Amino acid sequence: MSRPRSSPPEAADPDRDSSWFGSTVAFSEETDGPDDGPFWAARVRRLLHGGRATQRRIYTTYLFARAALGLGLVAAQGLLNWLGGRGPGAVFWLAGIYAGQASLRWWWWKRRAAQAQRLSAMHWWSTIGVDVLLFGAMHWLDTSSALNYGALLVLPVLMAGVLSSRLPALATASAVTLLLLVTAFHKGLQGGDLPGLLSQAGLAGAGLFMISLVSGQMTQRLAREEQAARDSLELAFQQAELNRLVIDEMSDGVLVVDRVGTVRAANPAARALLSEQGHCPAPPFPLGQERGWRALRDAVRRAYEVGHWPPEGVDLSVAAAGEMPRSIRVRARFTRGVRLTAESTPGRPGSQEVLAVLFVEELRQVLARQRQDRLVAMGRISAGVAHEIRNPLAAVAQANALLQEDALRADQQRLVRIIADNVERLRRIVDDVLEAAPGGTTPSRSLDAVAETGTIVSEWAHTVGLNLGGASRLKVELPTQGLGVSFDPDHLRRVLVNLLDNALRHASDQPGSVLLRLEALEGDFVRLTVANDGQPIPAEVEPHLFEPFHSTRSRGTGLGLYICRELCERHGALIDFVRLPGERRCNQFIVVMRRDVVPDEARLHL
């Protein structure tokens, strides 16, 4: 956006002289308007250039008046000469010269006005200066009283007060007054009434000074008011541009729609929701031009008719031509903060147009955000419950241990073992719930992912009784060089063990049925992949993999993958599931971690 240059202090300071001729006010013609349409852009440019346009109009009117006055003087002087039976004299030729130069000057200005940036001293000398000289010469040479050429000198004095600063305007009035006095003295020496002529010239000069001062003050006031208006408009334009930039960067879609369903403005997010493939045109455009958008148009029209929009929003389906329908949620607010009535109809006297501002979101994202909020709330509640369970659970475990110290019958020993197994299971569930609770503050550390992964896999294989080697069910692919990542060792162990347990549980008994691969990606990322050759995860189960308490096993807690996602997010990593039909290991869990530099003393050596 090209910002208008500020105007000079003379145009804004009431205590200083103001001059449009000496002003440096010049707004660039290339000033960009908002992207809401050519009409608004043209309107902004016209208002920003208002001061210069007013100045040009006054000057153009002055030039036209000079040309018309010159032709009138030629006609009047010629008529007087014809009636008096005299030939054309010097005054007639001066009137002709004045009419010719005035007409030529007006014609030239009309052709060059579009390229003129501002008025300068050249325009002053070519108009006001010429008027003073020629009108003064006519008044000097005219010996009759039929035409009073001295009255014409009011015109250049008036325009000097309007188009120049105070000093040049007073100088012009002084020069014209001196010219009137000298002419009166000259005519008095030729036999006229010298005292009467001098007094008339003096009174006329005093009036010229008053005209110069009054016109100058009026011009200063007009300049100040126009400058204040331009400053206010510039601030409003900058604020509108700022609002437009903010709205354009919003992730939510924003549409401005009128009563008939025409989109007046739309940010990129809204246009992407209306057409995923970029078929949405730039506003303004009618919502009725696409069949898949008419549901939104009809909803807006109904809102205008009933006078309100449901506070919870409206769920609609939209689609551009050739695209799949997309579910969106639309909320709306109406401008001016008034209830829509029939009196708000555009075009009625005294009414203002009401516009609907629509806030559009993809329904899937809305539901995901709501689900995440519920999960966070449920996590806090679960953490509180888990804390409360710990104390009675410890008491049960301690009492069961005391029972085991006594001599028990075989059936009693079996019951004690059942209690111990279920206490241990409850303890694991409590630990999982506390681990998944939001608000963890464990800081990330720089660690060698290759060494840490190798250590974790070795310990895990020993724990589950899995032999490593070429015939093992677990195939491990690790880089030969270390890879530094930003994570926590205990959290990485928890994530990797959960993924390996899950993969081994669903994998076949064939060698290499479970694959663990660690590799560096382009950029500052490292990818950890755990894949298995089990049955593909059903499509209806896949969206719920990382939700808490969702499990396909009767004895599962449903917290394993949820804990993996929470731990990854705490350290700026991402975890996701990829199903690859046709591949041997079709189920793949991928963890992408941020790379980091690991000091030598922090590396592990196997």
Cα angle 353, 359, 363 (rounded to 5 degrees) comes to 145
Q: What is the DSSP string of 217-263?
A: HHHHHHHHHHHHHHHHHHHHHHHHHHHHHHHHT-SSEEEEE-TTSEE
425 and 484 share a domain? no
33 and 148 share a domain? yes
Q: Of all helices (H) and strands (E), which one includes residue 499?
A: helix 489-506
156 and 21 share a domain? yes
- Peptide bond before 284: cis, by omega within 30 degrees of 0? yes
Task: Please say if the pLDDT value at position 19 is more than 50.
Answer: no
For residue range 392-428, list pLDDT tens digits in order: 878 888 888 888 877 778 888 888 888 888 887 777 7
> Which residue segment(s) compose the domain that 318 sits in?
253-341+353-365
Average of pLDDT values for 6-19? 37
Q: Answer whether residue 105 is part of any domain.
A: yes
Q: Answer whether residue 540 is part of any domain.
A: yes
Query: In this predicted structure, what is the pLDDT of residue 348?
Result: 46
Banded model confidence at residue 383, pLDDT cuts 50, 70, 90: low
CA distances (Å), origin 369, targets 87, 248, 324 = 98, 22, 23
Q: Of all helices (H) and strands (E), which one includes residue 459?
A: helix 449-464
The most confident of the ranges 81-85, 212-216, 484-488, 564-568 is 484-488
Global pTM reads 0.43
Query: In this predicted structure, what is the pLDDT of residue 343?
Result: 46
Q: Answer whether residue 22 is part of any domain.
A: yes
Work out whether the CA dihedral 54, 58, 63, 65 comes out positive or negative.
Answer: positive
CA distance linking residue 122 with residue 120, whole number of Å: 5
Backbone angles phi, psi at 317, to 5 degrees: -120, 125
202 and 298 share a domain? no
Query: In this predicted structure, what is the pLDDT of residue 591?
Result: 93
Average of pLDDT values for 354-364? 85
Domain count, the chain: 4
CATH number of domain containing 289: 3.30.450.20
Pick the range with the lowest mean pLDDT from 46-50, 327-331, 473-477, 595-599.
46-50
418 and 456 share a domain? no
Given 235, 264, 293, the domain boundary residue is 235
Given 202, 235, 268, the domain boundary residue is 235
477 and 517 share a domain? yes
Q: Answer whether residue 243 is part of any domain.
A: no
Pick the range with the lowest mean pLDDT from 63-67, 163-167, 182-186, 374-378.
374-378
Q: What is the DSSP letter of 595?
A: B
Q: Answer whether residue 241 is part of any domain.
A: no
Q: Answer whether residue 3 is part of any domain.
A: no
Pick the range with the lowest mean pLDDT from 328-337, 452-461, 466-475, 586-595.
328-337
360 and 373 share a domain? no
86 and 225 share a domain? yes
Pick the range with the lowest mean pLDDT from 170-179, 215-224, 391-400, 596-605.
596-605
For residue range 457-495, list pLDDT tens digits in order: 998 988 888 888 888 899 999 998 888 999 988 889 889
CATH number of domain containing 470: 3.30.565.10
Q: How much is the mean pLDDT over the chain? A: 76
Tokens of 383: 């953490």
80 and 222 share a domain? yes
Q: Answer whether residue 411 is part of any domain.
A: yes
401 and 517 share a domain? no
Residue pair 491/442 in contact by the 8 Å Cβ criterion: yes
Query: Would you call 153 exposed, middle or buried from its count of C-beta atoms within 10 A (0-12, 13-18, 19+)?
Result: buried
Query: In this predicted structure, what is the pLDDT of residue 558?
Result: 65
